[in-house]
Structure 1
C-alpha cells in the first residue's frame, strides 16, 4: 500500500482509501471513503488516487469548518438539480459496487447471507460511501424480506450471487420510486437529506416538498437506469462534481488537515502555526497553492524579516509555513513539491542564554520568599509553587512547563541496586494517572522529555518530601494545585510572567536571565563536574547523540542518575530550610 495515497489492491485492481476525520463521522455516516480506481497499473492508480484524495480532503475540510451546516429554507433551482443528480449518482454507484466488487471479493460471505433469507436488506437506504463490508454488516443485523416485483426482468450476464443481491437492491429502489409517485416521499427525503449534508446544507423539507418531488423523479430515473443495465444497455455512473481541486486548494485548508492529522498537538504549537498562516495570507492574499513560486518565498522571507526585530522569530514563522507546504505536497499531494523548500532566514548561532552566576543566584534567593517563606500575592505565582519551582529548576534542570504539570503520583521511590534503601524520584511523563478518571492531558516538548529525575539531597533537606506528602494528605492530584495556565499556551505561561517581574525587582534585569537559563546552569554545572554526557541528556530530557542503537537502547539506571545529580553543587549558595516542618516532627 502506498501510504500517501491510501492505495490497496483486491484481485489485482487498485482501490483508494481516504479516512474521514472523526468529527465528521456522524455527518457523513462513515469512517472512511473507498473507491475502485478501475486499473491494475500502479502509476495510473497513484495518479487517480491523488486526485480523488485531494478532492475528498478538501471536501472534508469544508465540512469540518461548516459542521453546523448551512440552513436552507427555500432551495434554488440549481440546488434542487444538484441534489437530484447526487441521489441518482448514489444509486448507480452502489449498483457498480454490486456488479464489480461483490462476486470476486465477498462472494462466499454474500452467498451465506443470502442463504439466511436476508437479501432484501440490500434495498435499504445506503449512502454513497457504502462498501461491501458495510452491506455484510447490515445483512447480519437485518430481518427485512426480499422485496422483488413480480414482473422483474432477467438479470442477464450476472453470477447467481450478483443476481440475487441486485434483485434485492433493484426491487427496493423500484418500490421506493413507486411509493414516491403515489405521494410517499419519506425514502426520497432520507436520500436527499444525506446528499444535502454532504454539500453542507440543512434543508427544511417541509417547506420544500416540490423539491422532493423533483428528486423523486430522479430516483425513478435511476431505477429505470438499473433496468436498462439489466437488459445489457450501457449506463455510465455520472462523475461527482469536483468539490475542490489541487489548483484552488488554499493553505488554510491544509492547516485544518494538518491540525487533525496527529492525535495530539501542543496548543501553543497550533497557535504558532495559526499566526504564521495569517501572516502568509496577509502577504500572498491567500493565493492558491498551485500558484506559489520560489521567488515569492524569498519575497515572503524578506517581508517577515522587516516585521520582526528577531531573525529567529521571523525564521520560526517561515518554518511553520514551510511545514504546512511540505504537508500539502508529501501527505496530501495537493502540489507536486514544496516550492519554498530552499527558502530560509539566516539566524545567529550564538547562544543568547548563559548560566546564572553564583552571585546572581545569591541575589535571587536572598528574597524574603526564600528566607522567610513569604509567598507573593500575585495569582500568577501559584501559591507555594512560587517557592518550590525556582528551587526545583535549580536542582533538576527541568523545564518550567514540565514542573507545573507534575502530579502527586509522579513522586515515587525506586529500589537501589547498589545499596540498601530507595531513591526518591520525580517522574516527568505524559501518561495519565490510572486512578484519576478526569486526569487532564499534559504536554511535553519531545518524546525524550519523558524521564525520571532523582531528587537532589538539597531538595530533601529543604523539605520537598514533606511538601509532596502534604499535598497527598490534602487529597490534591496536582503537585502545584494553585498554578494556573491559559488553555492556548504552555502550562508555565503565567508562572514565567511572574518570575520575570520577580527577578527584575531583585535587580536581575539582564535579558534572557530567565527560568529557562536555570536549565543551562544545571547542564553547565554537571559538565564541569564531569558527569557522563549521556547521563546528563537523560536527566534533562535531551535527545542523545550518537548512533541509533546508542540513543534507543541506552538507558541510565536510577542509581546512575542519582550519582550524577549529586555532583550538582553551587559553592557559596546557602539556602535555609524555611518550609514548615510536619506536625509530627
Structure 2
C-alpha cells in the first residue's frame, strides 16, 4: 500500500508517485513523478493528509488517459481517412451490410441453425436465444421491405460491434491500416481501439439514414441491444468527440463530486467548507446535480437569481421546499431574502468549484462562472446600528440572566469590555490571560494569533485573526482598570486556566462564543432591544461613534481593527502605546452611571 514519503534531509513528508511512462507527455507537461508536500513531520498527520492528494493524483491520471485516448483517436482518424481516400460510400455500405450478414450467420450457427458459415469464425459476442433470434430476423425482413430503412439494421450491427470487448470482426482492417503506416504489430490497446473506432465512425457515416418523423411509428423496435440505448445519428467527418454509438467514456464528475474533491484537496477552514457545501448543494438541487462539463453561464445566472430570492432565515418547513417554491413563498409573504453578500459567497463557491475542475481535475477547459457578475452591495456597508445612550443605560442597569454554559461573570465582563475596547465577541471569547500585557506601564489587550508553539501544542483549533488588521493592541480604559479587570485576569492566571473565560466551549469551527452569542442576543431581546440591527457587534459602532471627531481616523482604525493600506504605511504594526491610550480614554458614555457597575465588577473577579 502506498504511504507518505519522508524526505531524509528535512523530515517533511510528501505525497510522491511515479507517473506511468505512457502518460507522461499528457501529465503536467511531461513530469516523471507527481510530488506534493504534506507540510508536516508527523507521520500520523501525514497519513491523514495523504488520501486527498491520492484522489487528485488518480483524477489527474484519468485526465491524462482521456487526453492520450483523444490524441490516439485523432491520429487514428487521420490514418483511416488516408487509407480510405477515394473509396466511395457505396463500398463502405457494402462492408456494413457484410458485417450484418456475418453477425446473423454467427448467431444462427450458435443456435444450431447452420453447420458452418463464415460468420462463425468471428466473435460477435453472446448469441441471443432462439426466440429472440427469430424475432430479430423477422425485423430485418420488415426493414428490408422499405429501401431507405434497410441500412438501419446495419447501423445496429455496427453499434453492437463497437460494444464488443474486442474488435475481432474488423481486425483485418485494423491490421491493414497498421501495415500501411509501418506500425508495429500487435498495436497498443489504445491505438488498436482508436483505429477500430475511427473505422466504425466512417462506416456509420456512410450508412446514415434520415427517417421522416411521421414514419417513425412504423419502425419496429430493435430486438438485440448492445449496452447502449443512444439514438443513431450520422457523425460529422471529423467531430470533436466521436459520435459513434460506442459505450460512453467515463462521464465528467458532477458539481457536488468536484466540490468534495476540492474540500479534501488540502486543509481548509471547516466553517468555510460547510458554508460552501450548502451553496453547492443548492446549485445541485436547482439543476439536478449536473456534470461540470454541462454547466452553462445561464445556469449560474439562474442560480444567482434564485439565491437572491431565497428567504434569509428559513425554518425547517420552508427549507424542505423546492428552491423555486421557497422564492415564491418569500415573495408572497414579504419575507427578508438573502443579502447580496451571502449570494456573492454562494457564487464564489461555484466559481472555486469549477476552477478546481479546470486546474486540478482537468475535466473541463473553462470556468463558465467567471463571467457571471456578483450582485452589487446594498447602500449600507454594515446595516447594524449603534446603541443609543438610553440603550446603554438599559444594558448596564438590567439584571443578567442565568443560563447554562455561560457564567454571570463571563456575561458581565464581555458586556463591560465591549464598549471600551471595540472587540468582536469572538475576539473576547478567545482571550487567554497571556493576552493581557503591559508596556511602559500601560496595561493593554493584545489581539493576536496564537504563537507557533501554542498552535503546535494545543489539541483544539488555534486562534486566528479575522483580518490582517485585526491584529492590534488596545490599552485598557480607566473604567476597566477601576472595575478590577486586572484582578480578574490575575485570578485566572492563579487558577492556571488556559482561557480568560474558561467555561466557554469550542465548537467544530474553532469558535468559543456560539453559546455566548445566543445568550447575549436573548438578553438584548429580553430588555427590549429586539431590533434585528441591534446586536453585540453594535458595541463596535457605539465605540467608534464615541471617539468620532476626537481622534484621528487612522488611530480609530488601529484600535478597532479596521486599518487599510494607508494606515499600515503610516504606522506599521501600530501607533505609540501612549497615543493609543490617550485615544481610548476619549471613549465616554456620560448617560451611564458607572459607579454601581464598577462596584458589581469588584464582585466578579
State the distance in 2 between where 1:443 and 1:553 align: 20
Aligned ranges for residues 431-510 of structure 1 at < 5 Å? Answer: 431=451, 434=454, 437-438=457-458, 440=460, 441-488=462-509, 490-510=511-531
1:485 is displaced (CA, Å) by 4.1
2:569 paired with 1:565: no
**Corresponding residue for 1:392?**
417
- Contact 2:284 / 2:290 at 8 angstroms: preserved in 1? yes
8 A contact 2:419–2:539 mirrored in 1: yes
* Residue number among 358, 366, 370 corresponding to 1:337 in the alignment: 366
Show CA shifts across 1:401-455 (max 9, x none): 111011111111112xxxxx34333333233664994363223322332222221
Could you tell me which residue of structure 2 aligns to residue 304 of structure 1?
307
Q: Which has the higher contact order (CA 8 A, sep 6+)?
A: 1
**Which residue of 2 is the match for residue 183 of structure 1?**
none
TM-score (norm 2): 0.53
SS of residue matched to 1:495: helix
Instruction: Report the Cα distance in structure 1 between the residues aligned to 2:257 and 2:370, rounded to whole angstroms.
Output: 19
Shift of 1:346: 4.2
Work out whether 1:539 is the aligned partner of 2:570: no
Q: Distance in 2 between matches of 1:254 and 1:556?
A: 47
Take 1:298 and 1:558, find their aligned partners in 2: how far apart are those partners?
50
Distance 1:330 1:288 in 2: 16
Cα shift at 1:46: 5.2
Alignment CA distance shift 1:581-1:347 (3 Å): closer
Partner of 2:262: 258
Q: What is the CA–CA distance in structure 2 between the aligned matches of 1:268 and 1:435, rounded to whole Å?
A: 19
Q: Which residue of 2 aligns with 1:108?
A: none
Structural RMSD (CA): 4.2
In structure 2, how many angstroms separate the alpha carbons of the residues matched to 1:489 and 1:512? 25
Distance 1:36 1:450, change over 3 A: farther
State the match for 1:295 in structure 2. Answer: 298
Residue 363 of structure 1, aligned match among 394, 400, 405: 394
Is contact 2:52-2:264 (8 Å) kept? no
CA contact (8 A) 2:448 2:471 kept: yes
2:598 match: secondary structure: coil
Alignment of 1:125-164 (within 5 A): none
Residue 429 (1) aligns with residue 463 (2): no
Deviation at 1:294, TM superposition (A): 0.4
The gaps in structure 1 that reach 5 residues or longer are 1-18, 23-28, 54-58, 66-232, 370-375, 416-420
Aligned partners of 1:450 and 1:541 also within 8 Å: yes
Find the aligned partners of 1:436 and 1:331 in 2 and give their Cα distance.
Answer: 30
What is the CA distance between 1:564 and its match in structure 2? 2.0
Gap runs ≥5 in structure 2: 7-12, 36-49, 57-183, 191-247, 312-336
Shift of 1:533: 2.5
Aligned to 1:514: 535
Distance 1:409 1:581 in 2: 21
Residue 64 of structure 1 and its aligned partner are, at CA, apart by: 6.2
Deviates more, 1:332-341 or 1:278-287: 332-341
Partner of 2:434: 409
Distance in 2, matches of 1:346 and 1:326, equals 23
Map 1:212-361 → 2, pairs under 5 A: 248-260=252-264, 263-265=267-269, 267-308=270-311, 309-312=337-340, 313-330=342-359, 333-343=362-372, 344-350=374-380, 351-361=382-392
Residues 53 and 265, structure 2, Cα contact 8 Å, conserved in 1: no
Contact 1:37 1:49 in 2 (8 A): no
1:61–1:256 contact (8 Å) kept in structure 2 = no
CA distance in 2 between counterparts of 1:255 and 1:532 reads 46
Contact 1:544 / 1:551 at 8 angstroms: preserved in 2? Answer: no
TM-score under structure 1 normalisation?
A: 0.55
* Shift of residue 263, structure 1, vs aligned partner: 4.4
Alpha-carbon distance change, 460 to 259 in structure 1, aligned in 2, over 3 angstroms = farther
Deviations 1:208-238 (A, max 9, x none): xxxxxxxxxxxxxxxxxxxxxxxxx999998
CA contact (8 A) 1:411 1:427 kept: no
Q: Deviations over 1:473-503 (max 9, x none)?
A: 1121110011234324732221111111101
Distance 1:319 1:45, change over 3 A: closer
| Cα separation, 1, equivalents of 2:255 and 2:249 | 13
SS of equivalent to 1:356? coil
Q: Call closer, same or farther: CA 1:582–1:382 in 2, change over 3 Å.
A: closer
